[in-house]
């Protein structure tokens, strides 16, 4: 009889307490990583909102250009008031050139800083001051447009920038009372609305009110959209953090199971060589059954570890798309209860890939969900759409509810009605997203559901594999 003390048992792994501590530590590390990802997402949202606000300023500047041209034309030709057209045109050309440059710069998305928004508003204040200097200074009714710049700054800028703008606009207004080219306006304030000054003040007030309503509404809409995206990002980060903890716990359990499974496998191999078992065909058959079940358990453990981003040291297996799918379906069919499976592999010209346990588990998950919803029949179709592997799983069950279709890929969205259900499609969506693929679900017109997995072949193919057409 072989000596049991000489079994090639693998080294013992940490006990349950050490594994629990390790899982907790890894979960904290994963939480920190997700917090950094969330911070990165917040930064991206802020960058997007800043870019949208900059585009709003560019639009407002075009309105200012058109408004100044119209005002100068009305005053010069309508009221016969003399204006320095050449100098005012130079200011307008400079404003147009700056706005064209801004539009070209921000056509390609960049990060918009507080300083850049601040500089853009200062340019608007400078051009407004130049035009007011050339047209009467503070006696020009359009001097109240300074308020528009200050209010926009209060919405868009940080606190120190806003107060700086208040000081600058006050200084400009004060300077224009002392230094300006006189504007020959008649002082007929008693003429009620027909006074040119009163009419100009009314137009300025109307412009201020209208522009503030339009652009403050747009800016607030940008901010609300940012807050909504930020809330969604935080909710998703919280949900995925919970899944990460579950994955780490599963990883720890898989590590714990690895040692006893390897030990049982070694013992069974020793039993096969023992004379008392070798002489009994029935016992040998039972030992073979036990070995096959142990092998399957080890495969499940390997799948759990690979799905959580780890590996048990098994060498990757080179295969092809058609072989991978054929073997996957055959294995899945033989390990499930009797039912009718319609399998069609229309991939076309084969492609060399590395067998990926995470992809196998992802497909298993969708197939298991389909089988649970439709125990009588499940359909599986494999197609190729250019450089994309398209897998379609159909069933004859009740289909998805509108809520589930709208929340596809989020955790705990399930029609099974039991606690903890609804993680399957969430994990499938995460694996597909990792491979730069996608998951889509819909209800079939004749009843049942259909889930489509699309995976780019470049993400799973060997580097020297051909990506030819059909």
Residue 378: its H or E element: strand 377-385
Q: Is the pTM of this model over 0.75?
A: no
For residue range 355-368, list pLDDT tens digits in order.
777 788 788 888 88
Rounded to an integer, what distance in angstroms lies between the CA atom of residue 422 and that of residue 354?
Answer: 29
Lowest mean pLDDT among 53-57, 247-251, 292-296, 353-357: 247-251
SS3 383: strand
Q: Mind listing the domains of the chain with CATH numbers?
A: 21-238 (no CATH), 318-459 (3.30.565.10)
Using an 8 Å Cβ cutoff, are 341 and 378 in contact?
Answer: yes
Find the angle CA(243)-CA(245)-CA(247) to the nearest 5 degrees: 70
Query: Can you give the pLDDT at residue 238?
Result: 72
pLDDT tier at 42 (50, 70, 90 boundaries)? very low
For residue range 442-451, list pLDDT tens digits in order.
998 888 999 9
> Encoding tokens for residue 287?
């030992």
Biggest CA pair distance of the chain: 125
- Calculate the CA dihedral of residues 34, 36, 38, 44 and round it to 10 degrees: -140
Best CA proximity match to 367, nearest among 355, 379, 383, 357: 379
Rounded to an integer, what distance in angstroms lies between the CA atom of residue 123 and that of residue 8?
Answer: 79
Could you identify the residue written with the tokens 């009740």? 398
Query: Can you give the pLDDT at residue 384?
Result: 92
Tally of CA atoms within 13 A in the half-sphere of 23 that contains its CB:
22
Using an 8 Å Cβ cutoff, are 303 and 257 in contact?
Answer: no
pLDDT tier at 166 (50, 70, 90 boundaries)? very high
**CA dihedral (89, 91, 94, 95) positive or negative:** negative
Segment 29-40 mean pLDDT: 46
Query: Can you give the pLDDT at residue 49?
Result: 72
Rounded to an integer, what distance in angstroms lies between the CA atom of residue 148 and that of residue 331?
Answer: 70
Q: Residue 46, exposed/middle/buried by CB under 10 A (0-12, 13-18, 19+)?
A: middle
pLDDT tier at 68 (50, 70, 90 boundaries)? confident
For residue range 307-316, list pLDDT tens digits in order.
555 544 444 5
Rounded to an integer, what distance in angstroms lies between the CA atom of residue 179 and that of residue 173?
Answer: 10
- The conformation of residue 407, written as its DSSP 8-state character, comes to T
More confident residue, 171 or 468: 171
């Amino acid at each position: 009889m072989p000596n049991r003390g000489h079994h090639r048992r693998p080294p013992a792994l940490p006990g349950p307490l050490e594994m629990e501590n390790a899982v907790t530590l890894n979960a904290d590390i994963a939480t920190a990583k997700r917090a950094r990802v969330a911070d990165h997402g917040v930064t991206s949202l802020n960058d997007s909102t800043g870019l949208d606000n900059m585009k709003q300023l560019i639009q407002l500047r075009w309105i200012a250009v058109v408004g100044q041209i119209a005002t100068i034309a009305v005053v010069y030709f309508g009221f016969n008031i003399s204006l320095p057209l050449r100098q005012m045109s130079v200011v307008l050309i400079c404003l147009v050139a700056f706005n064209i440059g801004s539009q070209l710069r921000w056509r390609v998305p960049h990060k918009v800083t507080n300083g850049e928004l601040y500089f853009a508003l200062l340019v608007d204040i400078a051009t407004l001051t130049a035009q007011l200097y050339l047209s009467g200074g503070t006696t020009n009714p359009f001097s109240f447009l300074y308020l528009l710049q200050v209010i926009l700054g209060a919405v868009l800028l940080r606190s120190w920038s806003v107060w700086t703008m208040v000081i600058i606009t006050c200084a400009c207004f004060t300077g224009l009372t002392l230094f300006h080219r006189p504007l020959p306006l008649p002082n007929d304030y008693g003429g009620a609305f027909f006074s040119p000054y009163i009419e100009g003040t009314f137009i300025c007030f109307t412009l201020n009110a209208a522009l503030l309503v339009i652009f403050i509404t747009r800016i607030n809409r940008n901010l609300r959209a940012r807050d909504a995206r930020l809330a969604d990002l935080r909710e998703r980060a919280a949900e995925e953090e919970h899944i990460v903890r579950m994955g780490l716990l599963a990883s720890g359990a898989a590590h714990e199971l690895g040692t006893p499974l390897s030990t049982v496998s070694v013992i069974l191999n020793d039993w096969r060589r023992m004379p008392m078992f070798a002489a009994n065909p029935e016992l040998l058959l039972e030992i073979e059954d036990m070995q096959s079940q142990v092998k399957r358990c080890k495969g499940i453990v390997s799948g759990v570890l690979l799905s959580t981003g780890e590996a048990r040291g098994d060498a990757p297996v080179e295969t092809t798309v058609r072989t991978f799918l054929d073997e996957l379906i055959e294995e899945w069919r033989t390990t499930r209860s009797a039912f009718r499976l319609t399998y069609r592999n229309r991939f076309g010209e084969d492609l060399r890939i590395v067998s990926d346990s995470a992809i196998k588990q992802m497909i298993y998950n969708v197939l298991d969900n389909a089988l649970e919803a439709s125990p009588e029949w499940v359909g599986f179709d494999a197609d190729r759409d250019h450089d994309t592997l398209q897998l379609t799983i159909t069933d004859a069950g009740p289909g998805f509810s509108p809520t589930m279709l709208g929340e596809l890929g989020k955790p705990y969205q399930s029609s099974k009605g039991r606690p903890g259900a609804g993680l399957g499609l969430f994990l499938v969506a995460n694996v597909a997203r990792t491979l730069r693929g996608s998951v889509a679900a819909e209800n079939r017109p004749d009843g049942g559901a259909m889930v489509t997995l699309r995976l780019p072949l470049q993400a799973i193919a060997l580097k020297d594999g051909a990506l030819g057409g059909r």
